[in-house]
Amino acid sequence: MTDLRQPRIVIIGAGVAGIAAAHTFKQAGLTDVTICEKGTDVGGVWHWNRYPGLTCDVPSQLYQFGFAPKADWSRVWASGEEIQRYHRDVVERCGLDGWLRLGTEVTDAVYDDESATWTLSTAAGETLHADFVVCATGVLHHPHVPRIDGLDSFTGPVVHTARWDPGLETGGTRVGVIGSGSTGVQIVSALQPQAARLLHFTRSPQWILWAPMGVRQPAPLTALLRRSPGLQRRLYASALWASGILADVVLQPTWRRRAVQAYARSSLRRQVRDRRLREELTPDYEPLCKRQVVSGTYYRAITAPNAQLVTGPIAEVTPTGIRTADGTHHEVDVIVLATGFRTHEYMRPMRITGRDGRSLDEAWAGGPRAYRMTAIPGFPNLFTALGPNSPTGSISLQFSAELTSRYIAQWIERWRRGQFDAIEVTEKATDEFARAVGAAMGPTVWNTGCTSWYQTAGGQIDLWPFDRKRMEEMLDHPDDRHFDEVLLGS
């Protein structure tokens, strides 16, 4: 048997997708792998987001890697801190530490047609060379700081939830929280009990599904899972299967969707008795259209005597508070921006230059675009993990990242066997995929008339509109008809 070539691989990002890719590559016998992570630790969003009350609204027994099940989650819905510890633990347990370079920000990646290799530069001025680059840079990464007149003039602390200051003391102060997505709802619930006053500035109310998010994982279940890895595998498989119901609910307008929507409406009706407040909290779009918010505490928090919902548009921030368009000045000591992320930026601000000197910014001038979430025409030997159209609203992210990584590993295996030096997805295949995505978006709930971070500037919905089976089919094996292979010197 001929010796296999050993490619140099750079994975950019050590969050969920980067860890999944690294583990998959290790399993595939790849040894020359570098993971560049600009943060001071692994975990991606779970490293950057540390705001009070951060909890994952996906059950922990599902929100984990298939290859690294954890028996002893302390809660059914784990805290951000526990999830962050889990990621660190997985990296150590799977022996990925040696590949990891923390505090290493990649600023540029340039493809060389002659050698079919990538040259990467870091913020520290280093140069790395790679045969393959895997961008695992995440979606919810760049904090969105809204342009509000006077925001700079505020004399107290202004903090974005994704860059929380652990030294910030909000107890006994008047806190203004702007934003009512999953983050805003969680942080309002967490800060309200200790705040002197909590004002929640809500431009668009969200539907909120009630769930007992604080419930502990039963100790006998933990003991059972510890004793029986087989049982844990079955539990994970069942959780994946059950999550298919969620995918079905958002993808198809069936009675199942209507049942979940009815539950969202009844969650509001049953918990908010004050008719006027209930009206203010009632969204003007269908439940599930935006990323669904889940909480067991928000309605209680916002109806507390020290809390106030402010629905009037914000006109300006003053040195001492927030003025709404009706002229009311709301005095606050601290402003919390729970205003989300500049989604769809993916690998930016990295400068990525592909074949023939074409930049990613040029290639994506019309919005992010990738074949089956992972390959971009014009960018040979570069893949994305949890890239454009990833199922952030329907299917397990860990599952999707692992599946994509195994797909990428198959291409790399072909390279190792000398089948090609460069592989590049065709424009035609990418267009066909985009058309199929556009057509399948029709009946999804995301397309029922709300605005959300799922939408790109061009108005496309940047999600996965198919079920898990279809994802497995699409990423089961490389389809030669969709790629051009280049063998140097031939």
Residues at the interface with ligand NAP (CB under 6 A): 55-58, 140, 146, 148, 178-184, 186, 203-204, 291, 314, 338-340, 392, 451, 453
For residue 340, CA distances in Å to 12, 119, 146 come to 22, 33, 9
- Cα separation, 176 vs 329, whole angstroms: 12
If the CB atoms of residues 146 and 171 are measured against ligand NAP, the closer one turns out to be 146
The Cβ of residue 446 has, within 10 Å, a number of other Cβ atoms equal to: 23
Q: How far is the CB of 59 from ligand NAP (least distance, A)?
A: 11
- Nearest residue (CB) to ligand NAP, 271 versus 324: 324
CB of 191 to ligand NAP, least distance (A): 15
Residue 454 in contact with residue 393, Cβ under 8 Å? Answer: yes
Radius of gyration of the CA atoms of the chain, in A: 23
Q: Note whether 346 and 237 are within 8 A (CB).
A: no
What does the DSSP assignment read for 352-420? EE-GGG-BHHHHTTTS---BTTTB-TT-TTEEESS-TT--TTTS-HHHHHHHHHHHHHHHHHHHHTTS-
Q: Which is nearer to ligand NAP, 314 or 425 (CB)?
A: 314
Comparing CA positions, the residue from 434, 425, 429 lying closest to residue 376 is 425
Name which of 132 and 346 has its Cβ closer to ligand NAP: 346
Shortest Å distance, C-beta 350 to ligand NAP:
22
In angstroms, give the least distance from the CB of 340 to ligand NAP. 3
Q: How far is the CB of 204 from ligand NAP (least distance, A)?
A: 3
- Residue 120 beta carbon to ligand NAP: minimum distance, rounded to whole angstroms: 28
Identity of the residue, 104 or 186, whose beta carbon is nearer to ligand NAP in the bound complex: 186
Closest contact distance (angstroms) between CB of 2 and ligand NAP is 46
Please report how close the Cβ of residue 371 comes to ligand NAP at its closest, in angstroms.
24
- Report the nearest approach of ligand NAP to the CB of residue 382 (Å): 26
The residue nearest ligand NAP at its CB is 181
* 406-411 contact pairs (CB < 8 A, 24+): 406/24, 406/475, 407/372, 407/374, 407/475, 407/476, 407/477, 407/478, 408/21, 408/24, 408/132, 408/134, 408/374, 408/383, 409/24, 409/25, 409/28, 409/30, 410/477, 410/478, 411/383, 411/478
Contacts with 44 (C-beta within 8 Å, 6 or more apart), sequence order: 13, 14, 15, 16, 17, 18, 87, 138, 141
Q: Considering beta carbons, is residue 176 or 380 the nearer one to ligand NAP?
A: 176
Q: Report, in Å, the least distance between residue 468 CB and ligand NAP.
A: 18
Looking from the CA of 456 toward its CB, the CA atoms found within 13 Å total: 18
Instruction: Select from 399, 467, 443 the least CA-distant residue to 246.
Output: 467
The answer to whether 33 touches 25, Cβ cutoff 8 Å, is yes
Only one residue has tokens 């089976």, namely: 469
142/416 with CB nearer ligand NAP: 142
Smaller CB separation from ligand NAP, 58 or 133:
58
- Residue 21, CA distances (Å) to 26, 221, 409, 428 in order: 9, 30, 9, 27
Q: How far apart are CA 324 and CA 314, in angstroms?
A: 4
Nearer Cβ to ligand NAP (103/313)? 313
Nearer to ligand NAP, 201 or 371 (CB): 201
Residue 313 Cβ, how far from ligand NAP at the closest point, in Å?
8
Q: What are phi and psi of 31, to 5 degrees?
A: -120, -20
74 or 451: whose CB is closer to ligand NAP? 451
